[in-house]
């Protein structure tokens, strides 16, 4: 039987390439930049995260943000796929401590994925079907239609996954269902998009609250540039693109480029963009002649995927350049943040 220490060191070596400035200090001590806080936005060589041995286990501690975690939780945060392999190996090694928690989820997975199979994919609907017409009207690429589903009675369908989620079905109605899968193709959330003038345009149902609410994880390649947008539908028009399903686009990964909605007169959006820039993220600030608010609207206005990608490449800014461009992009006044930027430039 392999020791727990041996297994944990083995899996630490598997994810070492994901840890910036990774170094082995001695047989039981490793040092790297903290994956939780990023360690430093200005100095990429800072490394204040440590993994060290305590008994027969590895422990993680960051001396910048203060985060501490056992190796299991550290690995789960860093890479869910490697984490699952690690849990399986511990199970095979007769270490049942982790297995109990790992096996708490399958009933939910089975129920949710099974319910998804009761819906028709948009790709399987006739061209005369209202849902098909809706998707075609928005010019969603046909090769992505199989990823979208039609729920004729959305509330009733949700109740098959989460019993009594909706106590009343009197206002039930059809919705477009957009499933959220993780990197292992497990369903952990879904979004229902209204076809009509319902009060809530989007309803997002979270099945696993431990997972980050990100759409497109089953397609993303973290080794390449990853584009981050707000809306899942917008993400379907770009390669290697994920969506947060909210205006906060911050994703704690390298190689991400944030693409906020083009709403320079929306004070909340403008504040978010200011925060992204201040935190060092590369951000797309659309030129003034672009009037559409998001990727889908740009497609509907006649812009091609290639043209949109070119605009993204030509209008991605970071650091001082982003702050300068932001001042001209925004059409509403902010307070202390912009004032401090202006004083920095004087």
pLDDT at position 39, please? 82
Separation between Cα atoms, residue 342 and residue 4, nearest integer Å = 55
Q: 19 and 33 in contact (C-beta within 8 Å)?
A: yes
DSSP state of 146: G
Task: Say yes or no: 97 and 132 in one domain.
Answer: no
Separation between Cα atoms, residue 10 and residue 123, nearest integer Å = 43
* Number of domains composing the chain: 3
Residue with tokens 């990197």: 183
Q: Which of 102, 127, 159 is the last residue of a domain?
A: 102
Tell me the mean pLDDT per 10 residues along the chain, length 346. 79 85 90 87 86 92 89 88 82 47 37 73 94 96 92 95 91 95 90 91 91 92 94 96 92 93 93 94 95 96 96 96 94 61 47
Task: Say yes or no: 328 and 231 in one domain.
Answer: yes
Looking only at Cα atoms, what is the longest distance across the chain? 67
DSSP state of 215: B
Cα-Cα-Cα-Cα dihedral of 328, 332, 336, 341, to 10°? 0
Looking at the whole model, is its pTM more than 0.85? no
CATH code, domain with 16: 3.90.580
Sheet with 149-151, side-by-side order of all strands? 120-121, 149-151, 175-181, 187-194, 202-206
Domain encompassing residue 176:
106-206
Half-sphere exposure of 258 (CA within 13 A, CB side): 27
Q: Which of 175, 206, 237 is the last residue of a domain?
A: 206
CATH code, domain with 251: 3.40.1360
Long-range contacts of 259-264 (CB under 8 A, 24+ apart): 259/227, 259/228, 259/229, 259/283, 259/284, 259/295, 259/312, 260/230, 260/284, 261/230, 261/293, 261/294, 262/286, 262/290, 262/292, 262/293, 262/294, 263/293, 264/329, 264/330, 264/331, 264/332
Q: Is residue 56 part of a domain?
A: yes
Q: Is residue 166 part of a domain?
A: yes
Task: Say yes or no: 43 and 114 in one domain.
Answer: no
CATH code, domain with 166: 3.90.980.10
Separation between Cα atoms, residue 309 and residue 257, nearest integer Å = 12
Structure tokens at 109: 């997975």
Task: Say yes or no: 231 and 249 in one domain.
Answer: yes
């Amino acid at each position: 039987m392999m020791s727990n220490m041996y297994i944990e060191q083995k899996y630490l070596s598997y994810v070492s390439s994901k840890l910036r400035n990774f170094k082995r200090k001695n047989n039981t001590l490793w040092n790297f930049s903290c994956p939780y806080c990023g360690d430093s936005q200005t100095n990429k060589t800072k490394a204040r995260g440590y993994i060290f041995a305590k008994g027969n286990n590895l422990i993680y501690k960051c001396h910048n943000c203060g985060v501490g975690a056992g190796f299991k939780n550290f690995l789960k945060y860093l890479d869910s796929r490697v984490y699952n392999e690690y849990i399986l190996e511990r199970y095979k090694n007769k270490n049942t401590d982790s297995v109990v928690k790992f096996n708490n989820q399958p009933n939910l997975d089975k129920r949710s994925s099974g319910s998804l199979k009761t819906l028709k994919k948009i790709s399987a609907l006739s061209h005369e079907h209202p849902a098909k017409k809706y998707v075609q009207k928005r010019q969603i690429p046909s090769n992505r239609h199989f990823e979208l589903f039609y729920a004729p009675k959305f509330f009733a369908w949700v109740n098959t996954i989460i019993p009594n989620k909706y106590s009343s079905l009197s206002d039930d109605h059809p919705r477009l269902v957009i499933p959220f899968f993780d990197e292992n193709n497990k369903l952990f959330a879904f979004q229902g998009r209204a076809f009509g003038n319902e009060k809530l345009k989007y309803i997002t149902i979270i099945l696993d609250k431990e997972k980050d609410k990100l759409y497109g994880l089953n397609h993303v390649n973290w080794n390449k540039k990853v584009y981050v947008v707000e809306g899942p539908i917008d993400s379907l028009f770009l390669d290697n693109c994920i969506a947060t399903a909210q205006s906060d686009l911050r994703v704690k990964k390298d190689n991400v480029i944030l693409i906020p909605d083009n709403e320079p007169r929306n004070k909340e959006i403008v504040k978010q963009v200011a925060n992204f820039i201040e935190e060092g993220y590369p951000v797309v600030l659309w030129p003034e002649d672009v009037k559409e608010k998001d990727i889908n609207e740009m497609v509907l206005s006649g812009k091609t995927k290639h043209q949109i990608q070119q605009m993204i490449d030509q209008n991605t800014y970071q650091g001082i350049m982003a702050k300068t461009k932001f001042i001209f992009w925004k059409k509403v006044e902010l307070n202390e943040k912009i004032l401090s930027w202006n004083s920095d430039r004087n």
